Amino acid sequence: MKYIIVTGGVISGLGKGITASSIGRLLKCRGFSVSAIKIDPYLNCDAGTMNPFEHGEVYVLEDGGEVDLDLGNYERFLDVSMTSAHNITTGKVYKEVIEKERKGAYLGSTVQIIPHVTDQIRFQIEHTAYESLADVVLVELGGTVGDIESMPFLEALRQLRNSVGRENCVVVHTTLIPIMGSVGEQKTKPTQHSVKELRSLGIEPDIIVGRGTKPMEPDVRKKVSLFCNVPVEAVVSAPDVSSIYEVPLVLEQEGLPRVLLRQLGLEPRADELDAWKKVVSRIVSPKGHTRIAIVGKYVDLRDSYLSHIEAFAHAGAEADAKVEIRWVEAEHLESGSASVRKALGDVDGILIPGGFGERGTQGKIAAIGLARTEKVPLLGICLGFQLSVIEFSRGVLGLEGASSTELDAATPHPVIDLLPEQRAISAMGGTMRLGSHPVLLSEGCLAARLYKSAAIDERHRHRYEVNPAYIERLEAAGMRFTGRSKDARRMEVLELSDHPFFVGCQFHPEFKSRPTNASRLHLGLVEAALMCRRAKVGEKSARRARTRAKSRT
């Protein structure tokens, strides 16, 4: 088993996860199987209870693990499916240690951070790595070296490296090379300090990845090499690029895989970067263009909708079109139809993503109303699916005050209601209907055509569902439930037939979208939006031709 530990210095948000995922992709292209472990040194047991505004999207795995969004990057870059064991948090580690202590497993000894907590960390890393059966496992430590929270993890990683040997464990330290002053001088001091900190904890980095807006100057590279005690070819410059999918190509050009493989004593088994290059060129230089609105309530922090952004990048690559995202704050649509028209009048498609709680839902319902009546392509996901049912109940069935009991406990028409098995649950963490569940699609429906299959598996994260008591009425009025759970009890997909693309799904297709295999429903929305745009452009030029003809006569 070979390990690559990825740490970060100077500031957070450097793109450590993307660096690590890109390293993984490069090794995969060289014929190795790669897995990843993300360490988050916070006390939450998982990301499930965290506000997306603070921490970005909660990513959902096949097994229902609610994890850090970096796991999404690993799954997308490595094209693998991981389990919740691949996200280690302080909370998860301490929970195990305390449970063991209560069981008397420490046989009377005083339970301490070293060795008990560090042993538990090592066990979770090594066990997960072993179970993954991968040739190489990336271990990314969240946060910044020097944080109090990361100390036990760094100590555990130091021990791990000592026990497996440096030839089996490479440390890649990602830092910032800021540019100062009017002459734009690149500064290495923050990097020097952060490497000093890392070394004081007993970990010498083997490779330094310098992030910044510009490529590192040759003399800056030499300086980092000299002061941080790494060979100059192990100083890697990773400047900003337009798409994250370009990062593996940047690291390849910098010669990073060669340095890594040499240190790990590995011989490349393949050279398959071309397929990745093709995907990247389709993502960065598409022919067509379409504009899709994401109407959400966390739009100020784009990371809250990261998997949608990526799913649209993948769908755009497949449809050969740039998907321009228009971010629309749902609450801004609540001041009347003029505000809805102003924000959405010129978009080709609308996505209503998942969410929780009442805030912003009236605005999302207004957007759905516009999409339904004006035939704008719409994809509603999870809460977006539920709100489509609510909008239809109010607008078509005339059920005044129809709502979800999540949003209005006293609604006269609870068209969306708590899942029966949720009624007795009071704890918040890990208790929703989570993870992969099969969905059966009606033959010939739009979703089945897009998936090219009548049986699919998609990931879920919800507590509420369509109330079975209203299904007959909804279907009689034209809302077709074309996807259902295996026992046919739960509604999973809805479609409107007299509409170019009006689809809702209770599951989250964005989590399984991959650069080479886009989410079918995001792709469906993009294709419908492209058709909508072409039709609009056609109408416009016909109108112009008519006016020209008139002025001539």
Q: Which residues lie near ligand GLN (CB under 6 A)? A: 354-356, 382-383, 406, 461-464
Range 214-235 burial, b when 16+ CB lie within 10 A, else e = ebbeeebbebbbeebebeeebb
For ligand GLN, the closer of residues 284 and 301 by Cβ is 301
- 314 in catalytic set: no
Amino acid at 505: C
The CB-side HSE value for 379 (13 A sphere, CA atoms) comes to 28
Q: Whose CA is closest to 523, among 329, 292, 343?
A: 292
- Catalytic member of 508, 522, 527, 532: 508
Nearer to ligand GLN, 314 or 461 (CB): 461
Work out the number of other CB atoms within 10 angstroms of the CB of residue 57: 25
CB 369 within 8 A of CB 349: no
Q: Is 47 exposed, middle or buried (0-12, 13-18, 19+ CB in 10 A)?
A: buried
Closest to ligand GLN by CB, 70 vs 406, is 406
Q: Which is nearer to ligand GLN, 256 or 383 (CB)?
A: 383
- Of 152 and 355, nearer to ligand GLN (C-beta) is 355
Q: How many CB atoms lie within 10 A of CB 253?
A: 10
| CA-closest candidate to residue 298, choices 31, 52, 518, 96 | 52
Question: Looking at beta carbons only, is 198 or 330 nearer to ligand GLN?
Answer: 330
Give the HSE-up count for residue 157: Cα atoms under 13 Å, Cβ half-sphere.
30
Q: State the catalytic residue, choosing from 75, 310, 458, 510.
A: 510
The span from the CA of 402 to the CA of 404, in Å, is 7
From CA 129, how far away is CA 107, in angstroms rounded?
28
Q: What CA dihedral angle connects 56, 61, 66 and 67, to 10 degrees?
A: -50
Query: Is 510 noted as a catalytic residue in this protein?
Result: yes
Q: Out of 45, 382, 445, 505, pick the active-site residue.
A: 382
Task: Output the residue with the shortest Cβ distance to ligand GLN.
Answer: 354
Check if the beta carbon of residue 415 is closer than 8 Å to that of residue 402.
yes
Q: Is 508 a catalytic residue?
A: yes
Task: Report the alpha-carbon distance of residue 432 to residue 46 in Å, rounded.
Answer: 13
Using the minimum distance from each CB to ligand GLN, give the nearer residue, 356 or 470: 356
Q: Least separation, in Å, of the C-beta of 465 and ligand GLN?
A: 7
> For 195-239, where are the E strands, in sequence order?
207-212, 235-239
The least CB distance from residue 318 to ligand GLN, in Å, is: 25
Task: With H, G, I as helix, E, B as strand and everything else as coil, classify residue 428.
Answer: coil
CB of 516 to ligand GLN, least distance (A): 26
Active-site residue set: 382, 508, 510
